[in-house]
Amino acid sequence: MNRVVVLNLLLGLLLPLANVQADQVQLYPQAQVQTSIVRLADVAQLHGSIVSRLGQTVLVQRSGGESLTQVSLQQVRQHLDDLGVDVSRIAWGGPQVCVVTEATHTSVLANPTKAVDTRSALTFEAQLIQYLVTWTGFENSEVVVKFSERDRQRLAQAVGVGRLEFEPAGQGPLGRIPVTIRHWQGGRLMKELRVTAMVARKTLAFVMVKSVKRGQVFGPRDIQIREVLLNRGRSEPLRQLGKVVGQSAQRRLRVGQMLFAEDVAPAVLIHKGQRVTVRCMVGGVLVRTTARAEQDGMMDQTISFRNETSRSTFTARVSSSHEAILVLNTGTSQSNARFTGRGL
């Protein structure tokens, strides 16, 4: 076959593949925002099914009084990477830095004939979210606030001029938080709304990828670090490998459950009645003997053992699932005898 024909055939096969466009992120040189919250869509042009869905995620929380903020392309890459997006499959463009400033505007009254952007700084929803982020005490990037569809429609109204009061009734910063909103204007109460916010905290934690039974020892393949949403004000989830692997499950744990400190405990390595090797230095000589455990023992725990020859008891420190270590006082013949089984 003619080489030119073959080349044309190959191009015909490869060109459609080349036309498959990756998601694109094009950073703007400048951007203006209405609030202290800077979202991904504020600073970049987004193309593609993946990044387009993430346009409303919070990128930066500007501090009070800050008139100018710089957002780098590297910050955007890190933000998407933290959300689990494969940034290597994204086509990047635009300048390295976007300069963000706060837009100046005048207060406008709600217009019932015109749809109001529910993410605008002028809506009840946006104002309430800003309040709840501050109220929780967590970082802005950690807080996730959601509402029912009914409450979202009510909160989509424009605030207009006046003053807002927020009165949360929840016992903690996370979970279902009933909130009363009062809109005051010139000393008169113009509107009162009662809504429920579902507030969660985004963080990293170990999650079970295999089910374990109570008392089972955790292995490295039983868990995986993942981004999770905490909706209860309980203790911090575990995220350090050394605090989980090799430890014992305190209860049955199923796939998908997060791990907390109360879920793990030091594993029992030696069980009562188990025959183990006990070793010790006696007079500069390493001596080994066998003994039976008088009680359960965990790693580095000192427990009682019974010498099988003399039937006498002594204590030693658990060093593994089949061995313990005894430190004898030099010249204490009684302790030596109990360990070796001679003289008693």
In the numeric block, which tokens belong to residue 37? Answer: 């919250």
Q: In CATH, what class is 269-340? A: mainly beta
Average pLDDT over residues 138-155: 88
CATH architecture of the domain covering 11-102: Sandwich (2.60)
The model's confidence at residue 172, banded by pLDDT at 50, 70 and 90, is: confident
In the chain, where are the structural domains located? Answer: 11-102, 124-201, 205-267, 269-340
Strand partners, 58: 39
Task: Report helix, strand or coil for 323.
Answer: strand
CATH architecture of the domain covering 205-267: Alpha-Beta Complex (3.90)
Report the pLDDT value the prediction gives residue 255, as an integer from 0 to 100: 92
- Buried-exposed string 295-312: b where 16+ CB fall within 10 A, e elsewhere: eebebeeebebbbeebee
* Tens digit of each residue's pLDDT (9 = 90 or more) over 261-309: 888 888 788 889 999 999 987 777 888 888 999 988 888 889 999 988 8
Task: Report helix, strand or coil for 135.
Answer: helix
* 126 Cβ contact list (under 8 Å, min separation 6): 35, 37, 118, 119, 120
Taking alpha carbons only, the member of 221, 229, 216 closest to residue 265 is 216
Confidence (pTM): 0.47
